[in-house]
């Protein structure tokens, strides 16, 4: 920065605040870090020649995930989208059902619903959590659905609304207390899309362990990565067993027979990816400390900036701070693109939040409630560089 320039516009202030935290840059939005036993476990895996389907790293990774999250069972799969697909299938979602999903989410949440032959039904979010607004959803369901034989039926379409899939946006836990009651009262299966929230807690309990099932993602941009990967969390032993069966081609265990007793999927996580996962899981606690420290530094840097505020964890929640997000005040929403331009020009990778699902071509004709809050949020959110490596933490 030249000595004469005192940041005046909001764009300049945002660039200056980011620079004061992460240095001169450039800085990408989120990069993985491999500073533990990654090479060691990958070599061990390669040397063993057991790189594919089953293997000890898969078992270890699943046990590690269950221990970390407090879920009774974790089933590792090939990615987070596949985890959602199977979780929804096991929740009883079938052709001609509807499933409630936030309009403000990554496309995988809605895609997984369609893989079951069902239709996503988009619901609004609240600014406090960036997740599904439980109060508003309750009012909407009360006036637009009816209970028939213990099932929630959409009066407008006549279809059964089978499940509700809240998502913990950028790692900030959604109002699980409110949503569990809504799910109970309207007879909906609750499946949490916890792809972004490994290491996030609602009242001390890990996200993804409240509903019937929860799903995680270990894509390259998530808090920890297996290259590609995901997992299904559940406390129900039978569901866990069935999830494992369905994701491993539904093969009945036998020394030589290839007997498959239902249509299964080749969704298992390869042992090679699980080896990476085992090493990453060891690093997770220190990454979470680094991400929280990054939040504190950004928080201090942005507090004097008028018009933009850094998203903080909701009350009674502990967020993993996967992606740091700025929320512009409504009156500054028209400056979003200028901020995106200025930050990217300065070498700091930033991006807006996803386009709302109901605006995407494959979903334009899907049912949705009033989405005023999600629409406003989608115009005002900007993600800023969030890698744990931006804050080196002593091991």
Ligand X SMILES: *Cc1c(COP(=O)(O)O)cnc(C)c1O
Binding of ligand X by 79 (CB under 6 A): yes
Site string for ligand X, 144-173 (x = CB under 6 A): -----------------------x------
Cα gap 16→7, rounded to integer Å: 7
- With CB under 6 A as the contact rule, which of the stretches 18-26, 124-132, 193-201, 266-274 interacts with ligand X? 193-201
Binding of ligand X by 192 (CB under 6 A): no
Closest C-alpha among 371, 156, 385, 373 to residue 290: 385
CB of 293 to ligand X, least distance (A): 23
Cα gap 107→109, rounded to integer Å: 5
Helix (H) / strand (E) element for 11: namely helix 10-22
Closest C-alpha among 159, 157, 194 to residue 174: 194
Binding of ligand X by 217 (CB under 6 A): yes
CB of 373 to ligand X, least distance (A): 18
**CB contact at 8 A, 234 and 213:** yes
Number of alpha carbons in the 13 Å side-chain half-sphere of residue 236: 14
Cβ closest to ligand X, residue 106 vs residue 302? 106
Q: Pick the binder of ligand X from 13, 33, 69, 81 (CB under 6 A).
A: 81
Site string for ligand X, 218-257 (x = CB under 6 A): -x--x-------x---------------------------
**CB contact at 8 A, 14 and 339:** yes
Cβ closest to ligand X, residue 19 vs residue 268? 268
Binding of ligand X by 280 (CB under 6 A): no
Cβ-closest residue to ligand X?
80
Give the binding-site size for ligand X (rule: CB under 6 A).
Answer: 15
**CB contact at 8 A, 344 and 11:** no
- With CB under 6 A as the contact rule, which of the stretches 101-109, 131-139, 242-250, 373-381 interacts with ligand X? 101-109
Cβ closest to ligand X, residue 197 vs residue 350? 197
Cβ closest to ligand X, residue 145 vs residue 215? 215
Strands (E), the chain: 73-77, 98-102, 119-123, 145-148, 151-154, 160-164, 189-193, 201-202, 205-206, 213-217, 230-234, 308-310, 317-318, 324-328, 351-352, 381-384
Q: Strand, coil or helix: what is 376? A: helix
Q: Pick the binder of ligand X from 108, 165, 339, 391 (CB under 6 A).
A: 108
Cβ closest to ligand X, residue 10 vs residue 74? 74
Q: Pick the binder of ligand X from 106, 122, 140, 348 (CB under 6 A).
A: 106
Cα gap 151→308, rounded to integer Å: 43
Binding of ligand X by 101 (CB under 6 A): no
Q: Pick the binder of ligand X from 11, 33, 109, 350 (CB under 6 A).
A: 109
Cα gap 308→305, rounded to integer Å: 6
**CB contact at 8 A, 236 and 212:** yes
- The residues of the shown chain that bind ligand X, judged by CB under 6 A, are 79-81, 105-106, 108-109, 167, 193, 195-196, 217, 219, 222, 230
């Amino acid at each position: 920065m030249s000595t004469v320039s005192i940041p005046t516009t909001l764009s300049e202030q945002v660039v200056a605040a980011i620079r004061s935290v992460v240095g001169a840059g450039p800085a990408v939005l989120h990069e993985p870090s491999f500073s533990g036993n990654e090479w060691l476990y990958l070599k061990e895996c390669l040397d063993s020649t057991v790189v594919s389907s089953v293997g000890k790293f898969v078992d270890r990774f699943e046990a590690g995930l269950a221990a970390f999250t407090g879920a009774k069972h974790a089933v590792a799969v090939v990615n987070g989208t596949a985890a959602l697909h199977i979780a929804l299938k096991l929740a009883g979602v079938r052709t001609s059902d509807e499933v409630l999903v936030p309009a403000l989410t990554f496309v995988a949440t809605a895609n997984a619903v369609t893989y079951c032959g069902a239709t996503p039904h988009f619901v609004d979010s609240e600014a406090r959590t960036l997740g599904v607004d439980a109060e508003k959803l309750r009012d909407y369901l009360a006036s637009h659905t009816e209970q028939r034989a213990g099932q929630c039926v959409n009066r407008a379409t006549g279809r059964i609304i089978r499940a509700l899939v809240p998502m913990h946006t950028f790692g900030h836990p959604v109002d699980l207390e409110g949503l569990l009651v809504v799910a109970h009262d309207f007879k909906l299966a609750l499946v949490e899309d916890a792809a972004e929230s490994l290491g996030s807690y609602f009242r001390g309990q890990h996200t993804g362990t409240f509903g019937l099932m929860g799903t995680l993602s270990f894509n390259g941009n998530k808090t920890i990565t297996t290259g590609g990967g995901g997992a299904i969390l559940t406390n129900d032993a039978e569901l866990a067993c069935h999830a494992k069966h369905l994701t491993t081609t539904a093969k009945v265990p036998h020394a030589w027979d290839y007997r498959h007793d239902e249509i299964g999927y080749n969704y298992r996580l390869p042992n090679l990816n699980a080896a990476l996962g085992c090493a990453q899981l060891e690093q997770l606690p220190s990454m979470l400390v680094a991400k929280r420290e990054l939040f504190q530094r950004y928080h201090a840097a942005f507090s004097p900036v008028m018009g933009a505020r850094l998203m903080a964890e909701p009350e009674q929640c502990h967020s993993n701070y996967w992606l740091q997000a700025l929320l512009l005040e409504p009156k500054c929403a028209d400056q979003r693109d200028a901020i995106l331009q200025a930050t990217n020009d300065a070498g700091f990778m930033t991006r807006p939040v996803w386009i709302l699902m109901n605006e995407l071509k494959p979903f334009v004709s899907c049912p949705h409630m009033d989405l005023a809050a999600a629409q406003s949020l989608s115009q005002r959110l900007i993600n800023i560089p969030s890698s744990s490596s931006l804050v080196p933490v002593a091991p």
